[in-house]
A and B are shown apart, each in its own frame.
Chain A
Amino acid sequence: MTMTSRKTYKLNARLTLALLASGISFWSLTTTAVAADNLNVLTWCDHEDPALLEPFEKANNVKINFKDIDSTAAALAVLGQSKPGDWDVLVVDQTDTGRLVQMKILAPLNAKDFPFADIPAEIADAKLSSVDGTLYTVPEKFGYNTVAFNKAAVDPKAMEDINAIWDPKYKGRIAIYDYYVPVIEYVAIALGKKPADLNSADLPAIKEKLIALKANAAMVGDVTTVQQALATGAVDILVGGGEWVTAGMAKDNPDLDYVIPTQGGVRWQQGLGVFAASNNKDLATKFVQYIVSPEAQGKLATSSCYWGMPANSKAVLNDEQKKILRWADQPGYIKVSHPYLQMTSDFDKELQALWAQVLQSN
């Protein structure tokens, strides 16, 4: 009996301990407080390399937490699930600045804090970064959503016509980038519409044209999926592609190329903003300054998720990297490309519904 009871005691003790331990760790987990030395960043996948973040983290003794978004809509969805003050910095398509300011999401910034003298005039355009003369987002990276292709399999000359992608010759060899904003805009350009004037009345024609494009395509996919499909030869053409898919792969597959069609193309441009509700605005502003500094700009331009042109022309890049990014061609490219659509939330919803219908079409 004594044996049993001692054993029981031991088991009891161990059980109680285990329960206590799990209880404590459980409790400590659910009550993780947001420490002052945390900076929470809502970003696209190109701001996640340790090489980019570590210098800032070390210099300021701060931990950067980030969450992936793949559209402004996704960013708004995350914000909807958060409390005010949860987020400090936002990476966003700069054309959405106005919309976000209207929603009172962004904090005003001081233009003097940022190296605007080193940013090309078209990229620093106040229409994209400011509302009523107040700066809200700082341009950091840009590139093109046009057509990327494998020049070993496709004639680069033919790709200069925006309508080539509807040619039955390429049936089953095309991938479409799963981001409704630039792809819809690109199709609008193909239809001869002016992106800036796009409205609901244009959508039926765009939808029809998109469905025809999808019928000609093999797949639709996110950043990595389409990169992989193009790089491995599953497809030869990527609609919505640009340097962001070809540049990072230049070493592994030098045949990957992109053009801006003669009819024009779409230019993406990311900006950095600070949240109006952030409890850490000074550090957040410091982070924005860091990202647009020459050192960080070079790393951001060549990030492992996707490459892109740095907004700061003093970005630290070697000649080979500049060549891959086609540094010298930029002035011409910027001229023939249109920035993203500036839309209201309602129009955004309409475009998303259209996109879902197109994806589901056979």
Chain B
Amino acid sequence: MRGKAWLGTLLSYFYLAACYVFILLPVAMLILFSFQDGRLPVPPFNGPTLRWYETAMANDRMMAALGHSLMVGVVSSALSVVIGFLAAYGISRYEFRGRRAIQGLIILPLAVCYLLVGMGLLVALSAVGLGPSLGIVIVGHVVINMPLAFAICLAQLGEHQRKIEWAARDLGASTWHVLTAVTMPMIAPALIAAFCLCFTLSWDEFIIAFLTTRFDVTLPVVIWSLLRGGLNPQTNAVGSFIFICSILLFVTVEVLLFRKRRP
């Protein structure tokens, strides 16, 4: 019996290791061949060289896209969290007719493909005669991320917080006062988590950005055109660079914001 348990554990660890190899293999290759000296990012490995990182950094279009992606991510996530939080507060704190229907409407975009959101905006733009722009990308990203922020906030606005809000209200605080001085600080971790999640999804979103931009594009769109515009390890360098930045961001958020709150 003990022998069997031992075998089971071994098999589990073996399976786990196999999964990790599968999951991490492409990333490992990507990073390794970002240092490739030559135009073909496949074995045999020649190098290392930082040449492709230099090429990428010197690429104005790439750097501009990096800025656009950051801006679209921050603005759309901030809007998503604020609007989503307000809606979650309204749904969880007030009884009113049509509450369920409104809740259903708000989370509806979670159940459709991004392609539909992008196509919808594209068709609507053409119907009203507007040109594509980064502003439209922000609009689209709020459509896909705000429901998520809403759901996260809603899950956090429980009975416990409601009681504290009542106490504040008994002390004469106004609704706005309660909201900003009591409720928001109480669920701040959830708000930050929602912001980070929205940012990540916006940062990585391709199809909406692709369909609704023209010259000022976001990073995924530039990478896509880079992929179509000639074969070289610059793509690897950009991918690895984003990877490292994302991990640094993730670790920073984790350490600064979440570790502190834990006893």
Contacts and interface: CB of A to CB of B under 8 A. Distances in A.
Interface of A: 1, 4-5, 7-8, 11-12, 15, 18-19, 22, 25-26, 29-30, 32, 40, 45, 48, 50, 65-68, 70, 81-83, 86, 222-224, 227-228, 231-232, 248-249, 251-253, 303-306
A224 B181 contact: no
Contact of A25 (B75, B229, B231): B75
23 contacts: A1-B171, A8-B177, A11-B185, A12-B180, A18-B78, A19-B82, A22-B79, A30-B136, A40-B215, A50-B59, A66-B215, A81-B125, A81-B126, A224-B230, A231-B40, A232-B40, A248-B39, A248-B230, A249-B39, A253-B40, A303-B230, A304-B229, A305-B230
Mostly, the B contact residues are: helix
Contacts of A82: 131
Contacts of A7: 181
Contacts of B176: 12
A224 B40 CA distance: 12
Given A5-B181, A29-B133, A45-B228, 5 more contacts: A45-B225, A68-B229, A81-B125, A223-B230, A224-B228
Contact of B225 (A68, A232, A252): A68
A304 B40 contact: no
A11 B230 contact: no
Among B133, B228, B231, the one with the most A-chain Cβ atoms within 10 Å of its Cβ is B231
Given A4-B181, A82-B131, A83-B129, A48 B229 contact: yes
A32 B229 contact: no
A8 to B, nearest CB: 4
A8 B181 contact: yes
Contacts of A231: 40, 231
B231 A228 contact: yes
Contacts of B71: 25
Interface in B6-62: 38-40, 42, 58-60
Nearest to B43: A232
B180 A251 contact: no
A68 B222 CA distance: 11
Interface of B: 38-40, 42, 58-60, 71, 74-75, 78-79, 82, 122, 125-126, 129, 131-136, 138, 171, 173, 176-177, 180-181, 184-185, 214-216, 225, 227-232
Contacts of B42: 232
Contact of B215 (A67, A223, A303, A304): A67
Contacts, number: 97
B184 A11 contact: yes
A252 B228 contact: no
Contacts of B133: 29-30, 32
Given A25-B75, A45-B230, A251 B39 contact: yes
A24 to B, nearest CB: 10
B228 A68 contact: yes
A22 B227 CA distance: 32
Among B60, B125, B135, the one with the most A-chain Cβ atoms within 10 Å of its Cβ is B135
A26 B59 contact: no
Contacts of A11: 180-181, 184-185
Contact of A32 (B40, B185, B216, B231): B216
B219 to A, nearest CB: 16
A247 to B, nearest CB: 12
A8 B122 CA distance: 41
A81 B228 contact: no
Q: Which 9 A-B pairs give the minimum distances between C-beta atoms?
A: A30-B135, A65-B215, A8-B181, A45-B229, A29-B135, A305-B230, A304-B230, A305-B229, A11-B180
B175 to A, nearest CB: 12
A224 B230 CA distance: 5
A303 B214 CA distance: 23
A158 B71 CA distance: 56
Contacts of A8: 177, 180-181
